Amino acid sequence: MPDDRTILASTARPEPPDRRVADADPDERTTVTLYLRRRAPLPPEGTRLSREELAREHGARDEDIAVARRFASDAGLEVLEVDPARRSVVLSGRVGDLAAAFGTQLGLFEAADGTRYRGRSGPLAVTPELAGVVEGVFGLDERPQARPRFRVIKASGTTGTSYTPPQVASAYQYPGAADGSGVCVGIIELGGGYRETDLTDYFSGLGQTAPAVTAVGVDGATNSPTNPNGPDTEVLLDIEVVGSVAPGARIAVYFAPNTDQGFLDAITTAVHDTTNHPSVLSISWGGAESTWTSQAMTQMEDALAAAATAGVTVAVAAGDGGSSDGQTDGQAHVDFPASAPHALACGGTTLELSAAGAVASEVVWNDTAAGDGATGGGVSAVFPVPSWQASADVPVSASGAGTGRGVPDVAGNADPQTGYRILVDGTNQVVGGTSAVAPLWAGLIARLDQALGADVGFVNPSLYGIGLPGGSDPSAFGDITSGDNGAYSARPGWDACTGLGSPRGETLLAALRGTTA
CA 242 to chain centre: 15
Q: Are strands 147-148 and 313-317 parallel, antiparallel or unpaired?
A: unpaired
189 annotated active-site: no
Inter-CA distances, 494 with 324, 350, 410, 412, 491, Å: 19, 17, 9, 14, 7
For range 270-298, the mean pLDDT: 97
pLDDT band at residue 1 under the 50/70/90 scheme: very low
**Is residue 15 annotated as part of the catalytic site, yes or no?**
no
Catalytic pick among 279, 397, 435, 502: 435
- For 481-500, what is the mean pLDDT? 98
Q: Give Cα 53 distance to the centre of its chain.
A: 25
Report whether the peptide linkage leading into residue 337 is cis, meaning its omega lies within 30 degrees of zero.
yes
Q: What percent of the chain has pLDDT over 70?
A: 97
DSSP E strands in 176-300: the ranges are 184-189, 213-217, 250-255, 280-283, 285-288
State phi, psi for 33 to the nearest 5 degrees: -105, 120
Measured CA to CA, the distance from residue 293 to residue 21 in angstroms comes to 23
SS3 (DSSP) at 4:
coil
Q: In this structure, is the dihedral angle defined by the CA atoms of residues 347, 353, 358 and 363, taken in order, positive or negative? A: negative
pLDDT of 299 reads 98
Annotation says 234 is catalytic: yes
Active-site pick, 219, 238, 302, 372: 238
Q: 141, 219, 232, 234: which is the annotated catalytic residue?
A: 234
370, pLDDT greater than 90: no
Helix, strand, coil percent content, the chain, rounded in steps of 5: 30, 25, 45
How do residues 21-77 score in pLDDT, each as one tens digit? 999 999 999 999 999 999 999 999 999 999 999 999 999 999 999 999 999 999 999
Residue 228 confidence (pLDDT): 66
Average pLDDT value for the chain: 95
pLDDT in tens, 433-480: 999 999 999 999 999 999 999 999 999 999 999 999 999 999 999 999
Tell me whether the omega of the peptide bond preceding residue 408 falls within 30 degrees of 0, making it cis. yes
- Give the chain's domains with CATH numbers: 6-138 (no CATH), 147-383+409-449 (3.40.50.200)
Can you tell me the mean pLDDT for 293-302? 97
CB 29 within 8 A of CB 135: no
Q: What is the DSSP string of 304-325?
A: HHHHHHTT-EEEEE--SBGGGT
In order of 33, 138, 215, 261, the CA distances from 141 in angstroms are 11, 7, 26, 9
